[in-house]
Chains A and B, each alone.
Chain A
Amino acid sequence: MVENRPFLTMLSHLVVILGVIVIAFPVWMTFVASTHSQETMLQSPIPLLPGPHLLENYTKVLTEGYGRVGSTAVTMTLTNSLIMALGVALGKIAISIISAFAIVYFRFPGRMYFFWAIFVTLMLPVEVRIVPTYGVVANLGMLDSYGGLIIPLIASATATFLFRQFFLSVPDELTEAARVDGASPMRFFWDILLPMSRTSIAAMFVIQFIYGWNQYLWPLLITTKESYYTVVMTVSRQANVVDSVPSWNLLMAMAMLAMLPPVLVVVFMQRQFVRGLVETEK
């Protein structure tokens, strides 16, 4: 800082701490709710500090699940979410990195058409064209399958653009050297380009993992079998069932489990996360 103003520094700390508290409060209350018994959670006001039922609640949702509209063990929905998130992240990276490679390192007829075809997909989120996309997936017989959960979501341009941007910054001398040494294009890709792209791949992975994990509408529409339910959609489904007495403790334990993996990814891969966010917007 340019000058020493203890009062302003104090104020800054105070404001940021208040902000952190406000932002963390919903998650704190969710955690608290997940550690009490059902009876405690039915009295208003509910407690503000954790109770003794943490293990019991989490074991119950993980093994039996919880629900008034068919309960699915959370271990299973977590596994499905993990498969979906990994599939979306890795699938996107795989198809994008090779198409970016083709567009940057080759001259071929129709190249610009491909480029623009990919570019327009940048514009339309799946929510906008949800009804016809559902129709296409149903026609292809991909409802209730991991393929149906994953493949339609990996068609997106962000990753292609990120890798294109990165490839353009790779010095031409490397390509020349590889060509002089007689390396084939794929050899160049595997041995030089791919190792160099590690940080971009990691940044992309974090962003797309979160994107895949947090999908809601898509799995909600195309899965009817419980064995394909993802954790995010079950949390919201159960929360939406009115009547009967809700077991807030179990529902909130489920919500905690649904949040935990992506939050851990962001917290532990913070550098890659920030990089990914900033770079996908370039």
Chain B
Amino acid sequence: MEKRVTFNERWLPYLLVGPQMIITLVFFFWPSGQAIYQSVLIEDAFGGNSKFVFLDNFINLFSDAGYYASARLTVVFSFLVAAIGLAFSLLLAVMADRIIRGATAYKAFLVWPYAVAPAVAGVLWGFLFNPSVGIIAWMLQGIGIEFNYVTNGNQALLLVVIAAVWNQISYNFLFFLAGLQSIPKSLIEAAAIDGAGPGRRFWDIIFPLLSPTGFFLLVINIIYSFFGTFGVIDALTKGGPGHATNILVYKVYNDGFRGQDLGGSSAQSVILMIVVVALTFVQFRFIERRVHY
């Protein structure tokens, strides 16, 4: 899309894009270039000397079992976050859509978790499941389940998933609700006249018409669980116990800042950048189609 009517100025447009371009160059292109540059170097532990090693950092990474474990974990984690989050918010949205009276009040009660910082969400859920004072941990103990996310890897992963889902629920809910409300009522009425019950109407009409929204949210949730959950993990488990919650984005930070392995961390950054670009591409391709479904 282009404007038909424009202004003719020689220098003004450069002045206007200038601030954003300078900031983008300095804080985006420069560091991204650095990441690519560092990913082919090995720096010795005392700084100063660095050696060009071509693709060694990448080869090391791909022959490292720990990296595969982290990648596998990231896939499992994002699958859980997306599946649980989407199922739960779809249920809430479908039910809220049925309610005519008081719907706005319910909406107000459901949108605010978006505003809670991931790191704070982590602290909140950590408190609920805290092995010594956590109320849910206490209840679980009452029914014979020993819950200790500090030592049990699977439980730690579960807790991180719960906190991440909780933080993202309002986003999913709002988009599902908007999607539901854009389905023409006449379609649903026609099906009802033909004798289709609510369940049948949901699976045969609402669900297929909602699938573009669902697919869009799926991509967003995967991107979110890949990158947006850093705060949750850092506040709750710091990637542990062991490496039970050490997903890729956390590993970049861990290896780079704690492990001081700049080359390896940069190589991981580069791989993650490729993943994000691919995901964004999928998302954009899809959004084009979403417009005329």
Interface, chain A (partner B; CB < 8 A): 1-3, 5, 8-9, 11-13, 15-16, 19-20, 23-27, 29-30, 33, 41-46, 48, 94-96, 98-99, 101-108, 111, 114, 117-118, 121-125, 127-137, 140, 151-152, 154-155, 160, 167-168, 172, 175-176, 179, 185-186, 188, 210, 213-217, 220-221, 232-233, 235-236, 239-240, 248, 251-252, 255, 258-259, 262-263, 265-267, 270, 273-274, 277-278, 281-282
State whether the Cβ of B225 lies closer than 8 Å to any Cβ in chain A. Answer: no
**Contact residues in A for B280 (Cβ distance below 8 Å):** 122-123
Given contacts A263-B115, A282-B287, contact A239 B228 (CB under 8 A): no
Interface of A is mostly: helix
State whether the Cβ of B83 lies closer than 8 Å to any Cβ in chain A. Answer: no
Given contacts A106-B12, A210-B114, A235-B119, contact A114 B28 (CB under 8 A): no
Kindly state the separation between the CA atoms of A15 and B30 in the bound complex, as whole angstroms: 50
State whether the Cβ of B84 lies closer than 8 Å to any Cβ in chain A. Answer: no
Kindly state the separation between the CA atoms of A32 and B75 in the bound complex, as whole angstroms: 36
Interface, chain B (partner A; CB < 8 A): 1, 3-10, 12-14, 16-17, 19-21, 23-24, 26-32, 34-35, 38, 88, 91-92, 95-96, 98-100, 102, 106-128, 132-133, 135, 138, 166, 169, 171, 174-175, 178, 185, 188-189, 192, 198, 216, 220, 227-228, 230-231, 234-235, 238, 249, 252-253, 256-257, 262, 265-266, 269, 272-273, 276-277, 280, 287
**Contact residues in A for B124 (Cβ distance below 8 Å):** 26-27, 29-30, 255
B235, A248: Cβ atoms closer than 8 Å: no
Given contacts A96-B20, A108-B14, contact A258 B96 (CB under 8 A): no
Q: Contacting A136 at CB < 8 Å: which of B10, B30, B169, B189?
A: B30
Q: List 17 A-B contacts (CB under 8 A).
A: A12-B98, A19-B88, A23-B113, A24-B109, A26-B124, A99-B20, A102-B13, A106-B16, A108-B9, A128-B276, A129-B35, A185-B9, A210-B115, A248-B133, A252-B127, A259-B117, A270-B107
